[in-house]
Amino acid sequence: MKAQIQHLLSHFPDIFTALGIMLGGLLLGLVLKYAVFSVLRAFGRRENSTLARSVAQHLSLASAWFFPVLAISLLLPLVPLPPRPFEVLRRLVEVVLVLTFAWGLIKTVDVLQDLVRQRYRLESADNLRVRKLFTQLQFVKKLAVSLIAFVAVGLVLMSFETVRRLGTGLLTSAGIASVIVGFAAQRSISNLLAGFQIAFTQPIRIDDVLVVEGEWGRVEEITFTYVVLSIWDERRLVLPLNYFIEKPFQNWTRTSARLTGAVHLQTDYTVPVEAVRTELRRILEAHPLWDQRVGVLHVTDAKERTLELRALVSAANAGDVWELRCAVREQLIGFLQREHPGSLPHTRVLLPEAAAGGPH
């Protein structure tokens, strides 16, 4: 016991030296991180640089870990420890260095996304090309993050001898395991393949307007396994990716955001169609949402008691065409009430005495 205590005391100077070197590396890394990001923030404010601001925003926290660990790893050969403790310390520093580097790479993907979003604006009027790009960007980002995390965890695990031996043994049963996993994850794999197909053939894109399961909404998010549809009343409809490969749905913005909408009116047979057509033209020319492509009125049906009029109007996107349809419907009904009240639908009753010419 006394010999062990003496042995421990004899290594106290080495332990203090090791702690001093590690603390020095920690402080050096923090100072380096602070200096680099101070320069980046100053440059971003002065030059209005999106890249500098994005790097400072996304990589600041990851760098606060990576730089100190990197400095410690560079100073590690100076640490005066016995071989066994030194090997444990070296392995620990390597693991943390790999994980923090992977964290920085994942945040670098966010920086690249910011640069793309700065260059291409989703809020622009004609954003078809941008929506195509963003759909692919979102899927590629998730794939890149997953690959970085997978490789980082693999490198950490393979740095341990026990795990390497276990991995060699597992390779012998990989064939059987792959079959079992394939059957167990059949739907997940099919969803992943559907994700690739959607990202690059693009039957749907980010911000597309869809009608799915009787619901109208916009594509808010596309993940590896499902699609989130933002419904007009702020609900969210979540559907698996396979749905958009296997089932029919309406895409109102597949090739263009422009749309044509219909307004149906039920009127009496005495309605002056030409006067209503003239009024429709006046309404459309005065309305800011009409894009001047389509503005026509047709008699589309003659029913037993009413005449059906259909007005076709067009606008730049689904939201505008909805507002325009509501305005046209409201103003046409007001026009008939005001100018031709007899043209509104009503029921006629012919009494037998009146039909025979008798008293009413």
pLDDT value at 158 more than 60: yes
pLDDT digits (tens, 9 = 90+) for 300-320: 999 888 899 999 999 988 888
The strand pairing partners of 313, in sequence order, are: 261, 295
What is the bridge-based pairing of β-strands 209-212 and 215-222?
antiparallel
pLDDT digits (tens, 9 = 90+) for 309-349: 999 999 988 888 889 999 999 999 999 999 988 888 877 77
Residue 334: its pLDDT value, please? 93
What is the bridge-based pairing of β-strands 290-302 and 226-231?
unpaired
Residue 171: its pLDDT value, please? 47
What is the bridge-based pairing of β-strands 226-231 and 236-240?
antiparallel
Do the Cβ atoms of 252 and 239 come closer than 8 Å? Answer: no
pLDDT value at 119 more than 80: no
Share of the chain above pLDDT 90, in %: 18
Ordered by where they begin, the domains of the chain are 7-159 (no CATH), 208-251 (2.30.30), 259-340 (3.30.70.100)
pLDDT value at 1 more than 60: no
| Mean pLDDT rounded to a whole number for the chain | 78
What is residue 248's three-state secondary structure? coil
Residue 184: its pLDDT value, please? 47
